[in-house]
Structures are given as structure tokens and as C-alpha cells.
Amino acid sequence: MKYCEPPDKITTIGLGSCVGICLYDRYIKHCALLHIMLPDSTKFSSQTNRLKFADTGIDDMVKLMEEKGSRVSSLRAKIAGGATIFNFSSTSGSGNIAVQNVVCVKAKLASYGIKIVSEDCGKNCGRTIIFDPETFELTVRTAGQQIHVI
């Protein structure tokens, strides 16, 4: 997880089944970006990094934004990732870690009442994302070098 304010931008690379969550304050224009790898920390007996899980990472992200002066009611989110990179029979439906990551991220954000403004999730391509806290634009570059803004 990283935090930034304008004029800086924030980025993460290598989003496959992982999900990038951009949380931003639309009034004071600062943001945090979290790159989660797994949906649920309670499924692991030994967790050394809270930020790699959607449930605990988003908790820490919201706490950071509040410490930087945000109110939860002012926060909005944009998310990207959750791609099915490898096509194994065990990755269908609820067994798919990418799908679980996206579902858990959405549920956790909803538990805070944080609206997801836009998303680019699923499919079978890796992504790099860049968020601009000044314009609230999330630039998504896929592994095939396709670029779009959400």
C-alpha cells in the first residue's frame, strides 16, 4: 500500500489475479493504492503481511486515509485486476482466486459504504494501473499494451 497527493501519481504493476484498489478522497484529493493478493486473511493460520489480504488490507487503507484527514463518507474507489491468467479446471466459479479477490474487495468496500466508481476486473489479461489523485483518472494498461482510462 502506498499513499500520495497531487501532483504525484501512484502505480502498481503485475496485477494478474491480484486486485488493485484505489481509494481517494474527492474533496481533499489524496489517495492510497493497495495491491491485494488474497481475499481472506482468516483462511491462513500465519499471516505476516496484512496488506496482501483484501479484508485486512482495506481496513488498514481506510485507517490510513482517516489519519490523513479523510472522512469515510468522502471516499470513493476504483478497482482493477482479478484476471484468470491460467485456465485450470479448479479455477472455475467460487474456486477461482481471481473471482474471490474481486468479490471480497467489493464486499469489504461495501461494508464501509464506499462506492466503487469504476472497475476493470476479470478477463484473462494482466494489468498495470496508474492513478492520478488530481483528476481521479485510473489508467489501465493490459499486458497486450492496450491502454484505457476508467
CATH number at residue 23: 3.30.1330.200
> Which of 4, 18, 22, 31 is the catalytic position?
18
Grid cell 481506510 is found at: 62
> Is the pLDDT assigned to residue 90 strictly greater than 50?
no
Does 116 have pLDDT greater than 80? yes
How many other CB atoms sit within 10 Å of the CB of residue 93? Answer: 8
Residue 30: its pLDDT value, please?
95
Q: Is 18 a catalytic residue?
A: yes
Residue 87: pLDDT band by 50, 70, 90 thresholds?
Answer: low
Based on the structure, what is the number of domains in the chain? 1
For residue 81, count other CB atoms closer than 10 A to its CB. 28
Per the structure, the complete domain to which residue 61 belongs is given by 2-149
> Which residue did the predictor score with more confidence, 142 or 31?
31
